[in-house]
Amino acid sequence: MESTISVKGLSVSYDRKRVLTNIYLDIEPGLIYGLIGPNGAGKSTLFKAILGLIDTNSGKIFIEGKSIEAERKRVVYVPQRDDVDWTFPATVYDIVLMGRYPHKKMFQRMDDSDREIALQAMRDLGIEKLKDRQIGELSGGQQQRVFIARAMAQEAEIFLLDEPFVGVDVTTEEKIIESLKRLAAEGKTLLVVHHDLATVNEYFDKVILLNQRLIAYGDTEETFSEENIAKAYRSQLPILHKTGLI
């Protein structure tokens, strides 16, 4: 199958410190990928490189054979919740509707079909009743769902989600994974940075194990092995043993 994202020999460093070294990846459509690795493994950096937000030392990234600049509309990013000013004067609806912005030219107004798409995304995530709430009046899980609804409203092909399950309630986790699986079934490509090793098998079709270098990637069943996890988490192994995860 033709890959939607292909990373060829990517290296990135910040202030002369290497973060990613010589990464090669081919991401296929219609699957959910778990991006897994310890803190500082370069997971967020890989996302930023794919999104074209940072300078890379070497290597190339293609989105369906083209550069990210040409494909911006088709790639959507769901960042972590923490860097946001939740007192901002905006409602849930305002934020979800933001997903329609890339589809609009400067002087174009939002029309009924944009509003319907935004409403549908909110329904899918079970937040339509919160439509007119100021975003600060939501629980952490609801806030996360707002961001995912916005991403869905953008109708992109590729979804990059940075730790969407951190600090959310059980209902939210279910709603999110349900939505992601539906998107994958529609043929979208999903990449998810994930921390909870216990749910990896259940959530992801394929995994990418990263620790500055690419440790392993492929089908979850084969790739997410004790041996590979140990390689990726080498420095944190004693702690992991204690938690009983491996």
Partner 1 sequence: MDFFEIFQQEWAFRALLASSMVGLMCGVLGCFIVLRNMSMIGDALSHAILPGVVFAFMIVGYSALGFFVGAVLAGLFAAVAITWIQRNVKTKNDAAIGIIFTAMFSIGVMGISKISKNDGVHLDLKDFLFGNSLGVSDQDLILTGVITVYVLLSIVIFYRYLFVTTFQPVIAETMGISVRVIHYFLMLLLSFAVVASLQTVGVILVVAMLITPASTALLLTARLPYVLTLSGLIGLFSAILGLFFSIIYDTTPGPAMAITATAFYFLAALFSPSKGLIFRWLQKRKLRLRIQTEDILKEAYRLQQRGKLTKENLDKRVGFSTRILQSHLQQLRKRGFFAKGTLELTEKGKEEAKRMVRAHRLWESYLVTQMGLTEEQIHEDAEKYEHLLTEEILDEVDAELGFPKTDPHGSPIPTKRGYPANPLLNLEVMHSAKIASDQLNEHITAQMWQLGILPDTTFEIKEKSSREVKILQGEKSIRLPRDLAGKINIEATEN
**Which of 14, 24, 40, 53 touches partner 1 by CB under 8 A?**
53
Whether residue 159 contacts residue 121, with contact meaning beta carbons closer than 8 Å, is answered with no
Helix (H) or strand (E) segment spanning residue 53:
none
Residue type, 78: V
Residue type, 144: Q
Binding mask of the shown chain, residues 107 to 146, with x at each position contacting partner 1 by CB under 8 A? x--------------------------x------------
Judged by CB under 8 A, the number of residues near partner 1 is: 26
Q: Does 83 bind partner 1 (CB under 8 A)?
A: yes
**Which of 13, 59, 98, 166 touches partner 1 by CB under 8 A?**
98
**Which of 6, 13, 22, 91 touches partner 1 by CB under 8 A?**
91
**106 vs 128: CA distance, rounded Å:** 28
**226 vs 61: CA distance, rounded Å:** 30
Q: Does 79 bind partner 1 (CB under 8 A)?
A: yes
24: its two tokens = 């090669």
**Which of 60, 65, 67, 104 touches partner 1 by CB under 8 A?**
104
Closest approach, Cβ 173 to partner 1, in A, equals: 12
Whether residue 200 contacts residue 224, with contact meaning beta carbons closer than 8 Å, is answered with yes
Segment contacting partner 1 by CB under 8 A, of 23-31, 59-67, 75-83, 225-233: 75-83
**140 vs 240: CA distance, rounded Å:** 27
Q: Is 66 left (phi over 0), alpha (psi -120 to 50) or beta?
A: beta
Binding mask of the shown chain, residues 7 to 46, with x at each position contacting partner 1 by CB under 8 A? ----------------------------------------
Whether residue 220 contacts residue 201, with contact meaning beta carbons closer than 8 Å, is answered with yes
Residue 76 vs 208, nearer CB to partner 1: 76
Segment contacting partner 1 by CB under 8 A, of 22-30, 103-111, 209-217, 219-227: 103-111
Q: Quote the strand ranges of the chain, DSSP E.
A: 5-14, 17-27, 32-36, 58-63, 75-78, 158-162, 189-193, 206-211, 213-219
**63 vs 50: CA distance, rounded Å:** 8
Q: Does 243 bind partner 1 (CB under 8 A)?
A: no
Closest approach, Cβ 117 to partner 1, in A, equals: 16
Q: Does 101 bind partner 1 (CB under 8 A)?
A: yes
Q: Applying CB under 8 A, which residues contact partner 1? A: 51, 53, 69, 72-73, 75-77, 79, 83-85, 88-91, 94-95, 98, 101-102, 104, 106-107, 134, 170
